[in-house]
Structure 1
Amino acid sequence: MTLTPVLSRHWDNPRSWTLETYTEHDGYTALRKALQLPPDDVIQAVKDAGLRGRGGAGFPTGMKWGFIPRGPGPDGLEKPHYLVVNADESEPGTCKDIPLMLATPHTLIEGVIIAAYAIRAAHAFIYVRGEVVPVLRRLQAAVAQAYAAGYLGRDILGSGYDLELIVHAGAGAYICGEETALLDSLEGRRGQPRLRPPFPAVAGLYACPTVVNNVESIASVPAVINHGATWFRSMGSEKSPGFTLYSLSGHVTRPGQYEAALGVTLRELLGYAGGVRAGHELKFWTPGGSSTPLFTAEHLDVALDYEGVAAAGSMLGTKALQIFDETTCVVRAVLRWTEFYAHESCGKCTPCREGTYWLVQLLHRIESGAGTETDLDTLLDITDTINGKSFCALGDGAASPIVSSLKYFRAEYAEHLRGGCPFDPARTTAWADRPAAAVEGPR
C-alpha cells in the first residue's frame, strides 16, 4: 500500500498556511460546489463517502450531521444549530491536528463552512488548546483572511448563507477533549462530562442542537465534496474508507505524520519511516494513543482500520502510533501514562477519581520493587471497577494500557517483584541484595 497525501500534500509548500497558497491549489472550490447544493445533499454526499470520525470513536460523520433535528421543537420554537470543532488535541502520542492547523488552516476553515452549511448552523466554533499559542494565532489570521475574502460573514459568495466562526482558546484540560466537557468549557463552566442522553445533537451548546467533530474529520470534507464518494471509497476498506493521518513517534528512525489509506499496517508504515531505530527491535506499541490497549510485534500486520484493530483487541483511536523498543520498561511506561490520567481526571465520578489514584500507588510500588504478586491481581480488580463504570471514557482509557500490558508482559511485572526494575542495573542490584521481607515493602 502506498501513501495517499491529500490533507498533507501541500504541507511543504512555502507559506502553505496563506490564503493565496491555498487558493492556488483549488482551495474553496469545494465550498462553491457545496453552496450550489441543498444542505441535505451535502449531508448525503458525506454519508455516501463513508467518512468516519477521525477523533477516536470512528462514528460516521454524515450520520452525526443527520441527527440534527429539523423544524420547531415541542415549544413551537426552532432553536439555532451550532458546529463545534474539537481541536483540543491532548491524547498522549497524538500529534496530527496541530500540524494540520499550522500548515493548512484554510483546509479546516473550508470544511467548517461546508459542514455548518449542511447542518444549517449560523455559528461555528473551533475549540483549541490554550497552550498552543502559535496555532491560535495562525487560525485567527486565517479566519480573518477568510472573512476579508468573503468566505465567512454575511451572504457568503452571494449564496445568502451567513456564518460566524470563532476560534476559542480552551483552558487546557485533557477532559475537555470529551465532547460534552468541551461544551461545558465553551459555555464558561468547568469542563466536566455531561450525562447522556440528551446527546449534543439534541441539546448541546447552550442547550441547542450541536455537532461536535474532530479537526481531521472536518478537514477531510472539502476533498470529499471536490472528488466525490467513489474517489474517496477507492482508498481504505469497505467499512473504513478513505485516507487518514497516522502519527508515528517514539523509537522510530523518522517520526512524523504519514498519510495513508485506512487499512495500512504498521509494518508498511515503518518501511516508510525507516524502521525502528538502528540496532533495536520493536517491543510494544499503541495503535491509537496511550488510552488504547497495547500491541506487540506480533501485531505488525494488523490492518490499521476500525474493524481490523478492534478484531485484534484494541482501538484505532486517534491513530497515534507510539513505538517502543526493547530498552523500554513496560511497567514504567504504563506508570507514566497512569499518572497522567490520575492528574487529568476531573473528579466527577468515584470509579475514575479514586481508581486512578490507587492504580498509581500500586504501580509505583511494583515499579520500585516493593510489590507482591497480590498487587498484580489488585491492579486487575481496580481496572475492572473502573472500566465501563466511569462517567466518561477517561476511566476506560486509564485501564486499557494496564490490562493489556499485564496480558502481554506479566513476566516483566513479576520480574519487578523479585528486585525492582530489570532495566535499571543499579536498582536491580540494590534490590536483589535486600532480604525478602524488605523487598515486600509496607502494606
Structure 2
Amino acid sequence: MTLAAEIDHNGTSPEKLLAPVLSSFWDQPESWTLDTYRRHEGYEGLRKALAMAPDDLIAYVKDSGLRGRGGAGFPTGMKWQFIPQGDGKPHYLVVNADESEPGTCKDIPLLFANPHSLIEGIVIACYAIRSSHAFIYLRGEVVPVLRRLHEAVREAYEAGYLGTNILGSGLDLELTVHAGAGAYICGEETALLDSLEGRRGQPRLRPPFPAVAGLYACPTVVNNVESIASVPAILNKGKDWFKSMGSEKSPGFTLYSLSGHVTSPGQYEAPLGITLRQLLDMSGGMRAGHRLKFWTPGGSSTPMFTEEHLDVPLDYEGVGAAGSMLGTKALQCFDETTCVVRAVTRWTEFYAHESCGKCTPCREGTYWLVQLLRDIEAGRGEMADLDKLNDIADNINGKSFCALGDGAASPIFSSLKYFREEYEQHITGKGCPFDPARSTAWADDKNTDGKNAHRGVNA
C-alpha cells in the first residue's frame, strides 16, 4: 500500500493525497519495465541533468536539501561534492542495496517494482561526480529482485541509457550488479567496499574516508537506494517542488515501512514530518482490540518509542529531539501482547550473530548481553543484572569500531528507560508474565490460535 500525505505545518491531521512519487505506479501491470517507466516521465530528469554542467548539477541537488535515506540523513549533494576533481583517478558510485536492518523493507520493494528509478538516478549521479563505473551491492537472498534488476539494467543498456555516449552526451558508464552473501555488517559502507573488492566484509578505519580512498583506493560515493532513486524526480520537477514537501531541514518525500501489529502494514510514501498517529489513521490503526505498546522509528537499532511519542514529527530533527533516530524509517509497531524483554532479546541475538568480531566491545559485549537477557526472560535473572545490562551496553555504545555496536545498545537503553518494571517482573515472578502457560492475557486474542500467541518481534 502506498500513500502520500500533505502535512499542514500547523500540526493538524494530514490530508490524504494520492500522489506518491517513487511508488506512483507500483500497482500497475509490469511496473518494473522500461516502457512503463518511460510512460511516467522516466529518464526525463536525466535529459535535464545532462544539459547542466556537473558542478552545477551537484549544487542543484545540494540546494534541493535531499538527505540520505539510508539512516544517517547526510546531505546527498554534499557527499557528491566531497569527491576530488582533477586527481587523475577513477571515480566510483556504489549503491548500498544491502537492506538488512530488522524491520526495514523499503529499498527491496522499490527495486522490485521500479528499478529504473534507481538506474536513472545512478546515471545522473555518475555524470555529476565524473564516474564511468557504478556498482549496485544487492542483498543476495532476494533472488527475484536480483533477476528483475538485471533485466532492468539490460533494458537500459539496450535503450542507450547505459554504455557509451549516453544520449549523445559523451558520457560513458558501466553498471555492475553485485549480489552480496547475506551479512548485516556489509550494510556499513566501508565493510560493503571490502566485500565488493572480494575481501571479508569488515569496517575500515577512517580516515581516509571513501570520498578520498574508497573502492580500489579511489574516490567513491556510497549512497542508499532511495537516496539515488529520489534524484530523477528532483531534476524533472524541480528543487522548489521537492522543498515544498516535508520540513525546512528535512525536505521532500520518503518511504515509511509500517509493520507489526497494524491493520494494514506496508509502504507509505509521505513527506518527511508526518507522525505515526497520522500513518496509523491512514492504515486502519493497530489490529482490532489492541493498543500500541512500543514502536521503533527507524528499525531495531534505534531507541524505541512508546504511546507518548505518537505525535513526534518523523523527520531527522523531530525524532532526534525526542531521543531516537529516524534511521531507515522502519516503523515496527507492537501491541500490549508483546513482551519487551523477549523482543529486545531477539534483536540482541541478531546483533550478536551479525557482529563481524573485529572489535572487542561489540564482539564480547553483544554475546554477554544475550546471556543476561536469556536468563532474565527465562526467570533466572537477578536485579543486579539490570544494572549489568546497562553497564555492558554503555561499554559498547560509542566504543565499537562501527555503528553496529551502537545499534545493539539502543534497544537496551531505551527498553530499560521505558519498561524497567517489566524486566523486574521477569525477575521477581521467575519467568515471563506474557507466557501463555502463566497468564490468561491471551484468552481474548482472536488473531492467534492460543498456542503461538506470543511470538515476540515476529508477531
Other structure's SS at 1:211 match = strand
Amino acid at match of 1:368: A
The two structures have a TM-score, normalised by structure 1, of 0.95
What residue in structure 1 maps to residue 164 of structure 2? 154
Other structure's SS at 1:316 match = coil
What residue in structure 2 maps to residue 380 of structure 1? 390
What residue in structure 1 maps to residue 449 of structure 2? none
User: Does residue 22 in structure 1 map to residue 26 in structure 2?
Assistant: no
Deviation at 1:84, TM superposition (A): 0.2
Alignment RMSD: 0.9
Residue in structure 1 matching 2:254, options 219, 227, 244: 244
Deviation at 1:70, TM superposition (A): 1.1
Deviation at 1:183, TM superposition (A): 0.2
Residue in structure 2 matching 1:231, options 226, 229, 241: 241
Q: Whole-Å Cα distance in 2 between the matches of residues 352 and 31 of structure 1? A: 43
Question: Residue deviations 1:130-189, cap 9 Å, x none?
Answer: 111011100000000000000000000111110000110011100000000000000000
User: Does residue 423 in structure 1 map to residue 434 in structure 2?
Assistant: yes
Contact 1:81/1:120 (<8 A) preserved: yes
User: Does residue 367 in structure 1 map to residue 382 in structure 2?
Assistant: no
Q: Whole-Å Cα distance in 2 between the matches of residues 370 and 107 of structure 1? A: 52
User: Does residue 269 in structure 1 map to residue 282 in structure 2?
Assistant: no
Taking the TM superposition and a 5 Å limit, the aligned residue runs for 1:137-286 are 137-286=147-296
Amino acid at match of 1:286: T
What residue in structure 1 maps to residue 456 of structure 2? none
Other structure's SS at 1:426 match = coil
Deviation at 1:228, TM superposition (A): 1.1
Deviation at 1:42, TM superposition (A): 1.0
Other structure's SS at 2:281 match = helix
Q: Whole-Å Cα distance in 2 between the matches of residues 290 and 219 of structure 1? A: 24
Amino acid at match of 1:294: M
Residue in structure 1 matching 2:66, options 30, 51, 66: 51
What residue in structure 2 maps to residue 39 of structure 1? 54
Contact 1:171/1:185 (<8 A) preserved: no
Taking the TM superposition and a 5 Å limit, the aligned residue runs for 1:64-143 are 64-72=79-87, 78-143=88-153
Q: Whole-Å Cα distance in 2 between the matches of residues 410 and 158 of structure 1? A: 63
What residue in structure 2 maps to residue 390 of structure 1? 400
Question: Residue deviations 1:345-392, cap 9 Å, x none?
Answer: 000000000000000000000000110110000000000000000000
Amino acid at match of 1:215: V
User: Does residue 400 in structure 1 map to residue 415 in structure 2?
Assistant: no
Q: Whole-Å Cα distance in 1 between the matches of residues 206 and 436 of structure 2? A: 50
Question: Residue deviations 1:277-309, cap 9 Å, x none?
Answer: 000000000000000000000000000000000
Q: Whole-Å Cα distance in 1 between the matches of residues 437 and 117 of structure 2? A: 52
Contact 1:5/1:260 (<8 A) preserved: yes
Amino acid at match of 2:281: G
Q: Whole-Å Cα distance in 1 between the matches of residues 143 and 333 of structure 2? A: 28
Other structure's SS at 1:113 match = helix
Question: Residue deviations 1:84-125, cap 9 Å, x none?
Answer: 000000000000000000001000100000001100000000
Amino acid at match of 1:223: A
Contact 1:45/1:228 (<8 A) preserved: no
User: Does residue 307 in structure 1 map to residue 322 in structure 2?
Assistant: no
Other structure's SS at 2:351 match = helix
Q: Whole-Å Cα distance in 2 between the matches of residues 110 and 154 of structure 1? A: 15
- Compared with structure 1, are the counterparts of its residues 9 and 331 closer, same or farther at alpha carbon in structure 2 (3 Å cutoff)? same
Question: Residue deviations 1:323-344, cap 9 Å, x none?
Answer: 0000000000000000000000
What residue in structure 2 maps to residue 6 of structure 1? 21
- Structure 1 unaligned residues grouped into runs of 5+: 73-77, 430-443
Deviation at 1:36, TM superposition (A): 1.0
Deviation at 1:41, TM superposition (A): 1.1
Q: Whole-Å Cα distance in 1 between the matches of residues 152 and 379 of structure 2? A: 53
The two structures have a TM-score, normalised by structure 2, of 0.92
User: Does residue 413 in structure 1 map to residue 413 in structure 2?
Assistant: no
What residue in structure 2 maps to residue 440 of structure 1? none
What residue in structure 1 maps to residue 78 of structure 2? 63
Amino acid at match of 1:213: N
Deviation at 1:418, TM superposition (A): 1.2
User: Does residue 352 in structure 1 map to residue 362 in structure 2?
Assistant: yes
Other structure's SS at 2:398 match = coil
Other structure's SS at 1:410 match = helix
Q: Percent identity?
A: 81
Other structure's SS at 1:139 match = helix
Q: Whole-Å Cα distance in 2 between the matches of residues 211 and 274 of structure 1? A: 40
Other structure's SS at 1:121 match = coil
Amino acid at match of 2:20: P
Other structure's SS at 1:241 match = coil
Deviation at 1:425, TM superposition (A): 4.1
Other structure's SS at 2:181 match = coil
Amino acid at match of 1:365: D
Greater shift, 30-39 or 385-394, is seen at 30-39
Contact 1:181/1:193 (<8 A) preserved: yes
Other structure's SS at 1:411 match = helix
Q: Whole-Å Cα distance in 2 between the matches of residues 383 and 16 of structure 1? A: 45
The runs of 4+ residues in structure 1 deviating greater than 2 Å are 1-4, 425-429
Q: Whole-Å Cα distance in 1 between the matches of residues 184 and 119 of structure 2? A: 24
Other structure's SS at 1:168 match = strand
Contact 1:309/1:315 (<8 A) preserved: yes
